[in-house]
């Protein structure tokens, strides 16, 4: 059922309505990823307000145009008030190069594999016309491949995936095959009808890669705004569980020499969405939960006045006006 073969459009519509699939058949390792769970928000914010020794770079690896209704919840009152139309947004794909002083280099998200540079090549991994159209691949413009990034920065000791949507795993084919891949909880067990269309493409990107290792998040404690993992056990890099965009979606809080950085992941795709406290739209697993996650991340921004925020697919304007429109 989960392998999309050549089917008539009506059959496809019925299948979408009646079935649901996991995002990929790629294996989940029994090995639990490293990291220290069970931190209170108070502890995390206390640590990240101190300067750290992590170096992190954000590299733009592709430009793209995607429909706004996927990226911003157009049904939100603020979207209506702003009269937002469902036009194309200019978005970017990023890879983050994180250098830890003793643990080495890690990537956050995987970039763009070399086989995505020529859509007419036989090995172009996005084969489904449905996926190519739905995600507007004709406007997908790779700028540098993950192979280029590895040549410049070295192969990573591991890759933390903010989540496993196509645009975040499409660099995996260029990684050395022994690279550990770390994800959030329930990311591969969750079932959705829309996975039926993307599952084959995801499987192709992940073919031959290491099984995913799940980060050791504690159960979300009542009264705590979020559940976090201290990735290296030295209070410098924290993964925060943001389960709305996908069940295992992650944001990251990172202590650098120049102050804390928040990577929102796809809990916020766009600058407008972040500035106006409006969650992404149809690309979410659960819009209401994503809105809660976004409000939680905006509250962190309010508590850390020198915070730099990097949203999932766009840069914020600077200087920041620092108004929290969630309230
Ligand atoms: Zn994305």
Residues 281-303 pLDDT 10s: 998 889 999 999 999 999 999 99
Ligand 1 centroid to Cα of residue 274, in Å, is 15
Residues 176-192 pLDDT 10s: 999 999 999 999 877 77
Identify any residues that bridge with 55 across adjacent strands, giving them in sequence order: 99
Round to whole Å and give the CA distance between 297 and 268.
Answer: 9
Ligand 1 centroid to Cα of residue 269, in Å, is 7
Round to whole Å and give the CA distance between 267 and 137.
Answer: 22
* Exposure string for 176-210, b = 16+ CB within 10 A, e = fewer: eeebbbbbbbebbebeeeebbbbbbbbbbbbeebb
Ligand 1 centroid to Cα of residue 167, in Å, is 5
Ligand 1 centroid to Cα of residue 319, in Å, is 25
Ligand 1 centroid to Cα of residue 121, in Å, is 24
Split at pLDDT 50, 70, 90, the class of 3 is low
pLDDT mean across residues, the chain: 90
Residues 54-104 pLDDT 10s: 999 999 999 999 999 999 999 999 999 999 999 999 999 999 999 999 999
Ligand 1 centroid to Cα of residue 61, in Å, is 13
**Domains detected in the chain:** 9-310 (3.60.15.10)
Ligand 1 centroid to Cα of residue 306, in Å, is 25
Ligand 1 centroid to Cα of residue 177, in Å, is 23
Per DSSP, the three-state class of 204 is helix
Of 84, 94, 63, 160, which Cα lies nearest the Cα of 311?
A: 94
Cα angle, residue 243 at apex, residues 27 and 289 outer, rounded to 5°: 145
pTM: 0.91
């Amino acid at each position: 059922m989960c392998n999309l073969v050549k089917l008539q459009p009506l059959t496809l519509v019925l299948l979408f309505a009646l079935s649901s699939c996991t995002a990929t058949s790629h294996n989940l390792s029994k090995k639990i990823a490293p990291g220290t769970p069970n931190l209170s928000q108070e502890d995390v914010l206390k640590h990240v307000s101190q300067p750290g020794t992590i170096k992190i770079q954000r590299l733009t690896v592709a430009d793209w145009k995607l429909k706004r209704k996927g990226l911003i919840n157009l049904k939100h009152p603020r979207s209506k008030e702003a009269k937002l139309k469902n036009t194309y947004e200019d978005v970017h794909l990023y890879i983050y190069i994180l250098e830890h002083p003793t643990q080495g280099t890690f990537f956050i998200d995987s970039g763009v594999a070399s086989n995505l540079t020529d859509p007419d090549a036989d090995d172009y991994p996005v084969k489904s016309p449905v996926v190519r159209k739905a995600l507007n691949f004709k406007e997908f413009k790779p700028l540098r491949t993950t192979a280029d990034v590895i040549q410049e920065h070295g192969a990573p000791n591991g890759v933390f995936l903010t989540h496993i949507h196509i645009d975040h795993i499409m660099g995996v084919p260029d990684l050395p095959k022994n690279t550990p891949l770390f994800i959030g909880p329930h990311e591969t067990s969750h079932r959705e009808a829309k996975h039926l269309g993307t599952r084959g493409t995801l499987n192709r990107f992940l073919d031959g890669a290491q099984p995913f290792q799940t980060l050791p998040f504690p159960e979300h404690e009542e009264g705590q705004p979020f559940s976090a993992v201290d990735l290296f056990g030295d209070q410098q890099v924290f993964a925060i569980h943001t389960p709305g965009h996908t069940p295992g979606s992650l944001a990251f809080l990172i202590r650098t020499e120049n102050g804390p950085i928040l990577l929102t992941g796809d809990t916020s795709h766009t600058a407008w969405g972040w500035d106006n406290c409006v969650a992404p739209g149809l690309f979410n697993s659960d819009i209401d939960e994503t809105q809660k996650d976004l409000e939680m991340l905006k509250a962190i921004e309010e508590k850390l006045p020198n915070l730099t925020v990097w949203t999932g697919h766009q840069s914020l304007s600077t200087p920041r006006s620092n108004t929290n429109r969630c309230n």
